[in-house]
Chains A and B, each alone.
Chain A
């Protein structure tokens, strides 16, 4: 598995996958995609990097414990639901606002914050599981 070809390609592949996962996350509102699938792609990127470079290398690169990332994701998802308290609407009501950047109109919403939270939860949980499994394999 751990050939030189794989080790050379892996960082490039991982970079592309992470960027692609963010793309999938952001297009998720009206087209196929979203936080869950984006998070899965990002977690697979981390798993690939773990196979190529070793788990300790990945943990060093991530800097934060994957489960803490998941916790943060859960927190901002819950928080995005609470934001509708200020708008006198029930829990999890989507709140929308717009930014004008040049000629483009950019939507920003509490729904997006929720989806980013989902992305982080999936990324954190799946990569924590993947890294734990890879660590076991390395130990044997």
Chain B
């Protein structure tokens, strides 16, 4: 070489800028996040105007749902979609790469947000509107949608922060002592998790020199397994904390029952799901070798989460704390899918997340109505609600069956897929854990149901006397409380009865996670692996 360091070849650099025009239809990739941010900005400006904020927020969320649906349809038809900001090519620009799970979870998140926004109309105080409730909800939706859609790990961290900051505002809204207590536990552990995530990001950048998810997926294959596994373990800890998996789950039941029930529903439906989504995304799509190394650990965590969480629910007398434990049990189900990276396993985990977003939110909303009727959060002092509102008792029981995984509700199908995945791999431990989880969840849930609804009166001597402390729901509560909650329940029942659409989407989602080709191709990063035909990968489940 000598002095001729710069020869002809090194001067030929790869293209760095996008040179073709961007189709206006591609904007569906970015619009859900941008609309939520712009909506939040406008609401922040109009903070002292009390009227119209709710209507505006609901319109914005409806627009986001519409765009999420368009995006999901587009992805189901054409495969993962990517938009790289500022006309740079990935991995130089920040990419938004959306595949089926990203779009489907974002859609479910937006639906939950819409339902929550309608639900709060019954009892939101003007003080809370002035405090910025709607602004914070839209900001949180922006953070959640951004996290589901981004194709860049550092950008994922940024969306985590957006979510975290807006959720702080929401959890302390109302300013009761118990809320501050919950907020400190919630905040401290989530900050810790975010810090672990950030440390892992530093290691990843040092090891493979890129933070674009697709690019990491290409390069991590050549990186040494030791460091990659260390990064995987850090990510497992960080996202496990966010998702509230065992043994870092204690913060969730200690904090999620403290805010307004609608806020609990929003957190239960959206926040922990971002944690499990990030686990699926990082450990299956971009660092499969780390997942393989950590497999025994993940299996152990999944089993522990699956069994201990419903046991926790069984021991609770606080309604929303019990639901918190159900939520953690659902995280265990997804971890079980993470431990079995086959088509069935990953499809099951993805569908379960989708199901859990809707049904946990519905349960929290119902819990809010129950608390409003009975004036307490102690299940021992509830009772007799069956007589007061039979519709609510049906909705609650359906949701319990759905999260326990009884057919024909949506919760059954992903668990069936997971058990099939376990059977095909001979993973007896996980199968047993999944079944035990369903069983204890069912016992804990029906125990709650019989205490709250079936028993005529309160616990103790006067359990046979009619509970005289029940306040019947007002008409407003019925319209703004039960009606939107029923929408969630109807979705869960509908997809449970007609699960073909969900199976198709789940299969595509699993294929795109397990075989990263289509995801990487959508970003435009060069890769020399032939295309795979996902139509030929079949998971024969016939409902």
Contact = CB atoms under 8 A, between A and B. Distances in A.
Interface stretch (B79-87, B310-318, B534-542): B79-87
A85 interface: yes
Interface stretch (B19-27, B442-450, B466-474, B497-505): B19-27
Interface in B280-308: none
Contact of B38 (A67, A79, A94): A79
A70 to B, nearest CB: 6
A74 B40 contact: yes
A92 B30 CA distance: 10
Interface string B25-40: 0110010001001101
Given A78-B37, A79-B38, A85-B27, A91 B83 contact: yes
Interface string A15-32: 000000000000000000
A78 B38 contact: yes
A71 interface: yes
B47 A90 contact: no
A57 interface: no
Nearest to A75: B41
Contacts of B41: 71-75, 78
B84 A90 contact: yes
Contacts of B46: 68
Contacts of B44: 67-68, 70-71, 74
A79 B41 CA distance: 11
Contact of B86 (A72, A82, A90): A90
A70 B130 CA distance: 16
A88 interface: yes
B43 interface: yes
A82 B34 CA distance: 8
B21 A88 contact: yes
Specify which of A70, A85, A89, A92 lies most central, judged by the most chain B CB atoms within 10 Å of its CB.
Answer: A92
Specify which of A70, A85, A91, A94 lies most central, judged by the most chain B CB atoms within 10 Å of its CB.
Answer: A91
Contact of A91 (B21, B23, B85): B85
A72 B45 CA distance: 6
Q: Give the size category of B's interface with A.
A: 20 to 34
Interface in B66-92: 83-87
A75 B22 contact: no
Chain B interface, DSSP helix/strand/loop, else mixed: helix
B130 to A, nearest CB: 11
B432 interface: no
A72 to B, nearest CB: 6
A90 B22 contact: yes
A11 interface: no
Contact of A90 (B18, B42, B45): B18
Interface residues of A, number: 22
A43 B87 CA distance: 33
A81 B85 CA distance: 9
B48 interface: yes
Contacts of B93: 90
Given A71-B42, A71-B43, A71-B44, A89 B37 contact: no
Nearest to B45: A71
A72 B40 CA distance: 10
Nearest to B20: A88
Contacts of B37: 74, 78
B22 A89 contact: yes
Interface string B329-372: 00000000000000000000000000000000000000000000
Contact of B87 (A70, A72, A85, A93): A93
Nearest to B82: A90
B47 A65 contact: yes
Contacts of A79: 38
Contacts of B85: 90-93
A111 B27 CA distance: 19
A73 to B, nearest CB: 8
Contacts of B47: 65, 67-68, 71
A128 to B, nearest CB: 11
Contacts of A71: 40-45, 47, 135
Given A65-B48, A68-B44, A88-B21, A93 B38 contact: no
Contact of B30 (A65, A70, A91): A91
Interface in A14-54: none
Specify which of B30, B48, B83 lies most central, judged by the most chain A CB atoms within 10 Å of its CB.
Answer: B30
A15 B94 CA distance: 38
Given A67-B47, A68-B45, A89 B38 contact: no
Contacts of B26: 90
A92 B86 contact: yes
A85 B47 CA distance: 29
Interface of A: 65, 67-68, 70-75, 78-79, 81-82, 84-85, 88-94
5 contacts: A65-B47, A65-B48, A81-B34, A90-B26, A93-B85
Given A71-B45, A78-B37, 19 more contacts: A65-B48, A67-B132, A68-B45, A68-B47, A71-B42, A71-B47, A71-B135, A72-B45, A74-B40, A75-B38, A75-B41, A75-B45, A79-B38, A82-B34, A85-B24, A89-B18, A90-B83, A91-B30, A91-B85
- Complex A-B, nearest 10 residue pairs according to Cβ-Cβ distance, in ascending order: A71-B44, A74-B41, A75-B41, A88-B21, A71-B45, A93-B87, A92-B85, A91-B30, A78-B38, A68-B45
